[in-house]
């Protein structure tokens, strides 16, 4: 299931004639992430994970990042605001040996923990240091239809004690979620015949008394 080098070659071949505007539009799924519910296990600074999902033209900004805490592992749980067909991932990791060297991708397993990472991922990639953010790791799209969330597990890096991630870019198609609460509101505003009947009986009883 490894994606070894799958997108590495295709990306370099396409990069010459794909404009920055095209890339920015393609990697705009950060707008469809429920950032308040993003989780990152083993992050050194709580709440730092959401800052690595940002616009394409800000991907080189290294002011905010995620760094692992007690070892090199990081696990991101990324919920979307609708359904996503995930097509590609770009990652900018840390300098020297702090860049992740593997990435396991899981679909629709919200609130994953490190105990869950023993399960086979939906796809796995060997990563390459990419300080410019140009290497795209293409997913097997048929496997990543209807993603309500994805989890990204970075088990190891290139030898450092901790792992750093500056940017995660996601490419794909987005579909709005069905608004179930609208249906609930419709039910709530529709008169309930049973309640109405009970009220009438209460009024009759009251009048008899």
92-107 CB burial, b ≥16 within 10 A, e <16: bbbeebbbbbebbbbb
Gap between the Cα atoms of 97 and 160, Å rounded:
5
Do residues 150 and 78 lie in contact, with contact meaning Cβ atoms separated by under 8 Å?
yes
- The predicted pLDDT at position 61 comes to 96
Residue 137 burial (C-beta neighbours within 10 Å; 0-12, 13-18, 19+): buried
Computed on alpha carbons and rounded to an integer, the radius of gyration of the chain in Å comes to 23
Contact present, 105 and 122 (Cβ < 8 Å):
yes
Q: What is the mean pLDDT of each run of 10 residues along the chain (209 residues)?
A: 42 60 94 96 97 96 96 98 98 97 98 96 97 96 97 98 98 84 49 48 43
What is the pLDDT at residue 5?
41
What is the residue extent of each domain of the chain?
Answer: 6-179
Confirm whether pTM is higher than 0.75.
Answer: yes
Q: In CATH, which superfamily holds the domain spanning 6-179?
A: PITH domain (2.60.120.470)
Q: State residue 180's pLDDT score.
A: 55
**Per-residue DSSP letters for 10-63?**
HHHHHGGGS-HHHHHHHT-GGGGB-GGG-EEETBSSTT-GGGGS--GGGTT--S
Query: What local confidence, expressed as pLDDT, does residue 162 receive?
Result: 98
Query: Other CB atoms closer than 10 Å to residue 55's CB: what's the count?
Result: 14
| Dihedral over alpha carbons 171, 1, 128, 166 (to 10 degrees) | 40
Q: What is the pLDDT of residue 16?
A: 54
Q: What pLDDT does residue 9 have? A: 38
The helix/strand/coil state of 89 is strand
């Amino acid at each position: 299931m490894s994606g070894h080098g799958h997108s590495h070659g295709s990306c370099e071949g396409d990069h010459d004639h794909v404009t920055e505007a095209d890339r920015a539009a393609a990697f705009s799924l950060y707008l469809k992430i429920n950032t308040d519910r993003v989780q990152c296990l083993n992050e050194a600074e709580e709440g730092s994970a959401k800052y690595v999902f940002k616009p394409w033209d800000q991907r080189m900004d290294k002011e905010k990042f995620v760094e692992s805490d007690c070892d090199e592992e990081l696990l991101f749980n990324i919920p979307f605001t609708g359904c996503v067909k995930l097509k590609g991932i770009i990652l900018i990791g840390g300098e020297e040996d702090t860049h992740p060297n593997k990435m396991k991708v899981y679909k629709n397993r919200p609130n994953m923990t490190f105990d869950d990472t023993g399960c086979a991922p939906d796809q796995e990639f060997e990563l390459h240091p990419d300080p410019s953010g140009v290497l795209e790791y293409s997913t097997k799209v048929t496997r990543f239809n209807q993603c309500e969330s994805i989890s990204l597990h970075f088990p190891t890096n290139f030898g450092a004690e901790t792992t750093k991630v500056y940017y995660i870019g996601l490419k794909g198609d987005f579909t709005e979620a069905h608004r179930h609460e609208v249906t609930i509101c419709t039910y709530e505003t529709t008169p309930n015949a049973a309640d109405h009947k009970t009220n009438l009986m209460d009024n009759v009883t009251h009048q008899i008394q």
